[in-house]
């Protein structure tokens, strides 16, 4: 079955409310969408939300790349060769993971719809469902507790708390959350590179008796070797995020002694599903657990991440809340959400529909 048309468009979508992390505050998100149409009328949909500060690619660059002659020349290619096409996209758009991810996701969606099965069924589902964490941005203690209460009322069971601006306030916020929700909610921490090694040591000492599940990317990218000064137990709960861009980094950080005990995979860092599976395979063979994350993203790419996450036996954590705060989206469906538990609907492709 031949590809008959490709179409891309750029959308700036507002968030329901702004949020703050260690290095920025966000109030909207610019997303790129790609449609790949087959000769029989099937449409595969992809989306990208690259984080410029992490991967060096903007949504505007992604949009221009997807309008290039290279992408337009996908017309006439056979969808059954989708993995070869993705390989060529990675070669042509090297180090542009947003562009890679948009094409990868759209091709997967079109190919699985062509087969009449879901993407997760194509790769083999290993995990039925997991609870996603929901994110509390950097805010004062009172607002943090109010946000946690609201999420608990909505049925979520896992909180991810952004830290990294003020160590003393970070510790106070985590203490208060643990005190109130130790028996009802799991708590994760995401420092977004906001600590020095000395600050991290103080933070770890302060929370050592609390029930904290993990800590994402505490130090700046390039400072990973400093983490080797920590104990093995401390490093085991650390998640490599901004440091974990693709399979090359995954392989390097798998060598002993390891700075991270958990790998964060984002489709927008590694260029889509095939790039994610490369990281997952390295991690599996090194006995490293997987944590699947996201940026502010459409249901399109969130669902794609969920499908590949559930196809990997070493997936332990998901943080796929990136579409929850969008004031609007271009698709519906994809997954169901009940008390924070995310399940795939098993319709053909990724199971979402254009609005």
**pLDDT at site 16:** 85
**What residues are paired with 43 via a beta bridge?**
37
Domain 121-354 CATH assignment equals 3.20.20.120 = yes
The per-residue pLDDT for range 284-295, each reduced to its tens digit, is 999 999 999 999
Q: Taking a C-beta distance cutoff of 8 angstroms, is the pair 158, 321 a contact?
A: no
On the 0-12 / 13-18 / 19+ scale of CB atoms within 10 A, 30 is middle
How far is Cα of residue 87 from the mean position of the Cα atoms in its chain?
21
Residue 19 has pLDDT above 80, yes or no: no
pLDDT (0 to 100) of residue 22: 66
Instruction: Check if 3-116 and 121-354 are the same fold.
Output: no
What mean pLDDT is predicted for residues 244-253?
A: 97
Task: Give the pLDDT confidence score for residue 100 in this predicted structure.
Answer: 98
pLDDT, tens only, 336-346:
999 999 999 99
CA distance 217 to 264: 9
- The whole-number pLDDT of residue 17 equals 78
Interior angle at CA 23, CA 277 and CA 225, nearest 5 = 60
The CA dihedral of 120, 188, 166, 220, to the nearest 10 degrees, is: -50
Residues 217-244, buried b or exposed e (16+ Cβ, 10 A)? bbbeeebbebbeebeeebbebbbbbbbb
User: In the prediction, which pLDDT does 25 show?
Assistant: 77
Task: Express each pLDDT in 2-12 by its tens digit.
Answer: 999 999 999 99
Beta bridge partners of 318: 132, 292
CATH top-level class for 3-116?
alpha beta
What average pLDDT does range 211-225 have in this prediction? 97
Q: What is the pLDDT of residue 21?
A: 77
Mean pLDDT of 268-272: 98
Q: What is the pLDDT of residues 28-87, one digit of tens each?
A: 899 999 999 999 999 999 999 998 989 999 999 999 999 999 999 999 999 999 999 999
Domain residue limits, the chain:
3-116, 121-354
pTM reported for the whole predicted model: 0.96
Position 313 confidence tier, pLDDT thresholds 50, 70, 90: very high
pLDDT digits (tens, 9 = 90+) for 163-205: 999 999 999 999 999 999 999 999 999 999 999 999 999 999 9
Kindly give, in sequence order, each residue whose CB lies less than 8 Å from that of residue 335, ignoring residues fewer than 6 positions away. 299, 302, 303, 306, 342, 343, 344, 345, 351
Residue-averaged pLDDT of the chain: 96
Other C-beta atoms lying within 10 Å of the C-beta of residue 76:
9
Tell me the backbone φ, ψ of residue 341, rounded to 5 degrees.
Answer: -85, 125
* Model pLDDT, residue 23: 66
Q: In whole angstroms, what is the distance from residue 29 CA to residue 26 CA?
A: 8
């Amino acid at each position: 079955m031949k590809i008959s048309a490709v179409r891309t468009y750029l959308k700036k979508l507002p968030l329901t409310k702004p949020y703050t992390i260690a290095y920025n505050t966000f109030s909207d998100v610019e997303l790129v969408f790609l449609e790949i149409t087959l000769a029989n009328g099937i449409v595969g949909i992809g989306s990208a939300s690259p984080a410029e500060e992490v991967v060096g690619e903007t949504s505007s660059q992604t949009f221009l790349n997807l309008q290039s002659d290279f992408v337009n020349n996908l017309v006439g290619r056979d969808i059954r060769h989708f993995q070869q096409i993705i390989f060529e996209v990675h070669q042509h758009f090297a180090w542009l993971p947003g562009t890679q991810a948009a094409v990868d996701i759209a091709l997967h969606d079109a190919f699985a719809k062509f087969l009449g099965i879901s993407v997760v069924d194509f790769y083999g589902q290993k995990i039925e469902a997991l609870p996603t964490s929901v994110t509390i941005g950097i805010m004062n203690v009172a607002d943090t507790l109010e946000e946690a209460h609201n999420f608990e009322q909505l049925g979520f069971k896992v909180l991810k708390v952004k830290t990294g601006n003020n160590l003393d306030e970070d510790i106070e916020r985590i203490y208060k959350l643990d005190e109130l929700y130790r028996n009802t909610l799991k708590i994760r921490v995401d420092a977004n590179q906001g600590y020095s090694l000395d600050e991290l040591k103080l933070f770890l000492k302060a929370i050592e008796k609390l029930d904290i599940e993990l800590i994402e990317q505490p130090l700046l990218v390039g400072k990973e070797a400093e983490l080797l000064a920590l104990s093995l137990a401390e490093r085991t709960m650390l998640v490599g995020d901004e440091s974990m861009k693709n399979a090359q980094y995954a392989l390097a950080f798998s060598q002993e002694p390891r700075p991270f005990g958990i790998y964060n995979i984002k489709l927008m860092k590694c260029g889509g599903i095939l790039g994610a599976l490369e990281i997952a395979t390295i991690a599996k063979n090194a006995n490293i657990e997987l944590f699947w994350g996201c940026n502010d993203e459409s249901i399109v790419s969130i669902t794609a991440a969920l499908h590949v996450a559930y196809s990997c036996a070493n997936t332990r954590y998901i943080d796929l809340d990136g579409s929850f705060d969008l004031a609007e989206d271009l698709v519906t469906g994809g997954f169901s959400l009940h008390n924070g538990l995310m399940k795939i609907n098993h319709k053909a492709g990724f199971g979402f529909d254009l609005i």
